[in-house]
Amino acid sequence: MALGWWRRGARISGQPYARLAGRPAQEAIRTTTQAKAGLPAVVGVVASAGGVEALRTFVGGLPKDFPATVLVVLHIRPSTPSMLPHILSRAGNLPARHPEDGEALAGGVILVAPPDRHLVVSASHARVLDTPRENGHRPSADALLCSVAEHFGPVGCGVVLSGTMDDGAAGLAAVRRMGGLALVQDPAEAAFANMPRAAISEADPQFVEPVAALPDRISAWLDGLRGRLRQMSGTGSSRFHDGEADADSA
């Protein structure tokens, strides 16, 4: 999977990002709901400096029955073993771990990018890739969020937390453009405000709030999304995370 189209220099005129950015959100809603009604919604959460504490607070607010897949990118040194899955598992109700490349997405789990590897989504699977750096980073916040936008559209959510510089801003803008939910930690609360400020400027997120308030926003969005998917598909119900389809017959 080539990730070069997510580089900031390709945001406006590059391919295929220009095609993604110009695609009407309503078209994305139609096509994505048809393809994704039986898959978990996806929440991409990205952070850099100061992000560990913000991530602890965020996952601590997720309920045990959280129906979406949570994917996390945190900038760390390539040679540093990551304790983040252990930290996040202890901080909240959901298990956290590094995924295997090609692992099927499932609700109620937190998948954490391994050191020096991109974490992205492709169709119904997580990908762990040793491809070139994006926006100066591997793992890259932009790479994760742009993949969420491309493959999950209006059933994708992006969250930008504390960090330096601006990785994640272009990706969150893609999530917003494709009809997904975009949230940013309040820069006044963030330990490092540059990443949240850049995301606010570029993505025009629906919510900018203290990190402790973001899980409830996402849960409310998921509740509304269930009803929206039912209405658009004309079925009695839709599932997000279990292994059995529960849609009623038309």
Summarised one tens digit per residue, pLDDT across range 172-198 is: 999 999 999 999 999 999 999 999 999
Q: Cα separation of 117 and 73, whole Å?
A: 10
Higher pLDDT, 231 or 22: 231
Main-chain phi, psi angles of 6, to 5 degrees? -90, -5
Smallest Cα–Cα separation from 124: which of 140, 146, 152, 104?
104
Question: What's the pTM?
Answer: 0.82
The yes or no reply on domain 42-227 and CATH 3.40.50.180 is yes
Q: Would the pLDDT of 24 be above 60?
A: no
Which residues carry out catalysis? Answer: 48, 75, 167
Range with lowest mean pLDDT among 58-67, 125-134, 181-190, 205-214 = 125-134
Q: Cα separation of 69 and 113, whole Å?
A: 13
- What pLDDT digit, counting tens, does each position of 49-104 carry? 999 999 999 999 999 999 999 999 999 888 777 899 999 999 999 999 999 999 99
Higher pLDDT, 244 or 130: 130
Q: Would the pLDDT of 156 be above 60?
A: yes
Rounded (10°) CA dihedral 41, 28, 176, 84: 30
Determine the pLDDT at residue 30. 45
Compute how many other C-beta atoms are within 10 angstroms of the C-beta atom of residue 60.
Answer: 16
Range with lowest mean pLDDT among 12-26, 53-67, 109-123, 227-241 = 12-26
Determine the pLDDT at residue 38. 63
Contact between residue 58 and residue 44 where contact means Cβ atoms under 8 Å apart: no
Q: Would the pLDDT of 45 be above 80?
A: yes
Determine the pLDDT at residue 215. 98
H-run or E-run covering 46: strand 42-47
Confidence band, pLDDT 50/70/90 cuts, at residue 239: very low
Helical spans, DSSP H, in the chain: 17-22, 25-36, 51-60, 84-91, 141-152, 169-177, 194-203, 214-233
Residue with tokens 């999530």: 175
Higher pLDDT, 12 or 9: 9
Q: Cα separation of 29 and 125, whole Å?
A: 20
Confidence band, pLDDT 50/70/90 cuts, at residue 243: very low
SS3 138: coil
Residue with tokens 């969005």: 221
Mean pLDDT of 234-241: 47
**Side-chain half-sphere exposure of 221, counting CA atoms within 13 A:** 22
